[in-house]
Amino acid sequence: MTVSTHTDDGKRPEQFRDYKAEARACVKEFYRLNHTLQTLETVLEKKRQYFTLDRAGMGVWEAMEHLDALVDDSDPDLDLPQIVHNLQTAESIRAAGHPRWFILAGLIHDLGKVLCLFGEPQWAVVGDTFPVGCRFDERVVYHEFFADNPDAQNPLYRTPCGIYEEGCGLDKVHFSWGHDEYLYHVVKEYLPQEALYMIRYHSAYPIHRERAYQHLMNDQDRELFRWVRAFNPHDLYSKSPERPDVNALRPFYEELIAEFFPAKLRW
């Protein structure tokens, strides 16, 4: 895949995910909370709480509309509602000629952020994801904030493998709680495995970008993460202040949604 060296708004790829910008101080505060509060105990409790999928019955487009007012506090690049980012991502994938399931993955990849509608704070919904229950890798953004995480003081969790076995596979690894893992469980019965990896791990930048935690991966992870990396440029570099025409695009995407999903999903 070839990625342009400039984006529609003139930004170069290296100018995205710039966490040093003064104007994004709120992002730093977000990660202070995220890295302090995302413990293994927290993650296990959130899974017990939300994997029942009994909070709402919503269609995909309905969920997108609910997110229209949500702006991601962890995003250092743009302050745009989620429905805009979802369509920008999907349209970038569509323009590149990828399969319809790939386009759909781009459209829905952030819909797990409906967790905010259920009262979850953003530190438990958005941001880069990372394994818990083992040593926090130094390649995780704002790694210094893990010093205040209680798990950093637990000898069992301070080893590279922690509670896991080397090569166990990421399906057996607990990641920091957020929209990726939640949406994966909402849609896992409906999409190809390649799309599910994109959804489940697109925020796992320490793994797919920094190549951290490779010792926990198995052969399936290594094979399917190439799809996560193929997805990432469309997620990241499609960001632009120019808003897509939602009404004009809606018929195409509603047809695409109906091709894979029932009218209502369990959330």
- What integer pLDDT is reported at residue 26 of this predicted model? 86
pLDDT value of residue 76: 52
Q: What is the pLDDT of residue 10?
A: 44
Residue 72: per-residue pLDDT? 66
**Model pLDDT, residue 75:** 61
- State both tokens at 186: 């909402």
- Residue reference for tokens 């009218």: 263
User: What pLDDT does residue 82 have?
Assistant: 84
Q: Where are the domains of the chain?
A: 19-266
CA 256, CA 219: separation in Å to the nearest integer? 31
155: tokens are: 């000898």
Cα–chain center distance at 167? 23
List Cβ neighbours of 146 (8 Å cut-off, separation of 6 or more): 35, 36, 136, 140, 152
* pTM for this predicted structure: 0.88
How far is it, in rounded angstroms, from Cα 221 to Cα 96? Answer: 24
Q: Quick one: DSSP state of residue 148?
A: G
Q: Which segments of the chain have a pLDDT < 50?
A: 1-17, 19, 22-23
**Residue 195: predicted pLDDT:** 98
